[in-house]
Structure 1
């Protein structure tokens, strides 16, 4: 009897793990590091990884994440004037699809969101990025 219970539990565990899709990220996720005079490729990659690991919108799939220095600088121009160090703030953009399941009560079903913004900050060049805000 004990072997049967363990076998059933094992089967249920395998099926539940197989049906999970990590953080709703597309298998064909497009990542564009872009060119930067402020950040290294590693710094931008770390910021993108933070967005990927924290993307958990219900019924949504992340399809693209990218960095544009021009858009980032334009967005933060006023913050830079107020003493925020340009090397400690970054704007990433993303696209994601919402399925038609109706499992997301906020986002429009069966739609694509483009140029969705993620604002990340850190305390210093050696600190880890943290997500400060997201949206349009």
Structure 2
């Protein structure tokens, strides 16, 4: 009985290791959140944390750089509110922020939605929250 339990535990540990090694990586990211008149340092930091968490959910992706500039964010937010999900979800402009990143994929290319062995530059992460005290969540991503 003890042998079966030990073997079962080893299998679980091995499977967890395989799963973890294929998850997206967001641990050694160069982050530059810049200055903002719209958002506090804490709000910017929390948005960056939400992006890192989202990346860990993708397979075979590594987040290399992540940054925020108000000008870039404002431009993408405007399009998001006019033409993207923001045109239908009723979100207010003050509850939308865009962070930009460089990320790369390994030979597997993730779950099939990313090119293998590719460096994506200026990749947008659109985050929303319910109100000024709400948590940021990634609503959309891409170019």
TM band (smaller chain): 0.7 to 0.9
Q: 3-state DSSP class of the match of 1:25?
A: coil
Residue ranges of structure 1 left out of the alignment (5+ in a row) = none
Identify the residue that residue 7 of structure 1 maps to in structure 2. 6
Equivalences for 1:1-136 in 2 at 5 Å? 2-19=1-18, 20-21=20-21, 23-55=23-55, 56-77=57-78, 79=81, 85-101=92-108, 104-136=111-143
Larger Rg, first or second structure (1 or 2): 1
Higher normalized strand content (fraction of residues): 1
User: Taking structure 1 as reference, are residues 125 and 31 closer, same or farther at Cα in structure 2, changes over 3 Å only?
Assistant: same
Q: Which stretches in structure 2 are left out of the alignment for 5+ residues? A: none
RMSD (Å) for aligned C-alpha atoms: 2.6
For these two proteins, the number of residue pairs brought into alignment is 134
Retained in 2: the 8 A contact 1:102–1:109?
yes
TM-score by length of 1: 0.81
* Alpha-carbon distance in 2 for matches of 1:121, 1:8: 45
Compute the TM-score of the two structures, normalised by the length of structure 2. Answer: 0.78
